[in-house]
């Protein structure tokens, strides 16, 4: 997110969200039978948007030649996980971290609520990530993470897995309380491309002690 520069930017932002929501809808449909094909489609469409759309986080001068870099697809890093809700019974203010503030790359902290946790069954041992709800802006699920690639192969402050305010939603079974988590779809926040963007940063509790060599990486 960045400063509002008027009506034209608002229309462009609405179109950006629409296109990303459409892309992730196509990803969810394809991934039901062929996750690798869905990933290929995500990369190609996303790269085209980053090259051509006025709301691209890539600076204008670099858009025409932009090509994102990704690790090869790893089917072992796609998971269907339970969400352990912080407030499973819907009790008001039961969450232990309601009104949590996450630091931003620039500017004031942004308010979130921790709504639960997911447990990722990595081969050596499971690890837990906190799942957040964005209190302001457009709302939505938000799942940032850090790992041992940060600062070298990936943006130093982490990457995102889910950001449903902008359409980044890999799906899941609502009735069963489950989400699809696929690290192959991990992406850099906008501030990784241009510091004029202000992005929420992954908190210390979402720091993984392993290198996640999947998803988008730096050039």
Between CA 80 and CA 120 the distance in angstroms is 9
Tokens in use for 54? 């006025």
> CA-CA distance, 116 to 99, in Å (whole number)?
14
Model confidence over 21-73: pLDDT tens digits?
999 999 999 999 999 999 999 999 999 999 999 999 999 999 999 999 999 99
What is the C-alpha to C-alpha distance for residues 91 and 115, in angstroms, rounded to an integer? 12
Angle at CA of residue 146, ends 76 and 196, nearest 5°: 125
Please give the mean pLDDT across all residues of the chain: 90
- 111 CB burial (10 A radius; 0-12, 13-18, 19+): middle
Residue 135 is predicted with a pLDDT of 80
In a domain, 1, yes or no: no
Q: What percent of the chain has pLDDT above 90?
A: 74
What domain range includes position 49? 7-217
Q: Is the pTM higher than 0.85?
A: yes
Per the CB < 8 A criterion, the answer to whether 128 and 116 are in contact is no
Distances in Å between the alpha carbon of 22 and those of 16, 38, 45, 169, 198?
Answer: 10, 13, 10, 11, 24
- By the 10 Å C-beta count (0-12 exposed, 13-18 middle, 19+ buried), 69 is classed as exposed
Report the domain count for the chain.
Answer: 1
- What's the pLDDT at 212? 98
In a domain, 2, yes or no: no
- Residue 101, domain member (yes or no): yes
């Amino acid at each position: 997110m960045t400063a509002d520069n008027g009506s034209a930017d608002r229309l462009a932002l609405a179109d950006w969200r629409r296109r990303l929501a459409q892309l992730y809808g196509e990803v969810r449909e394809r991934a039901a039978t062929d996750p690798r094909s869905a990933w290929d489609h995500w990369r190609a469409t996303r790269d085209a948007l980053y090259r051509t759309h006025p709301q691209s986080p890539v600076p204008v001068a670099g858009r025409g030649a932009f090509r994102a870099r990704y690790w090869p697809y790893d089917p072992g890093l796609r998971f269907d996980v339970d969400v352990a809700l912080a407030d499973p019974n819907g009790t008001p203010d039961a969450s232990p971290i309601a009104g949590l503030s996450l630091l931003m790359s620039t500017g004031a902290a942004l308010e979130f609520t921790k709504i639960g946790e997911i447990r990722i069954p990595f081969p050596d041992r499971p690890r837990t990530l906190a799942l957040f709800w964005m209190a302001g802006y457009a709302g939505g699920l938000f799942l940032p993470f850090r790992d041992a690639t940060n600062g070298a192969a990936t943006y130093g402050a982490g990457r995102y897995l889910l950001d449903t305010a902008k359409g980044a939603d890999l799906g899941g079974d609502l009735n069963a309380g489950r989400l699809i988590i696929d690290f192959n779809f991990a992406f850099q926040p906008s501030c990784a491309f241009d510091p004029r963007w202000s992005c929420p940063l992954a908190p210390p509790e979402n720091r993984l002690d392993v290198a996640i060599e999947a998803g988008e990486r730096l050039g």
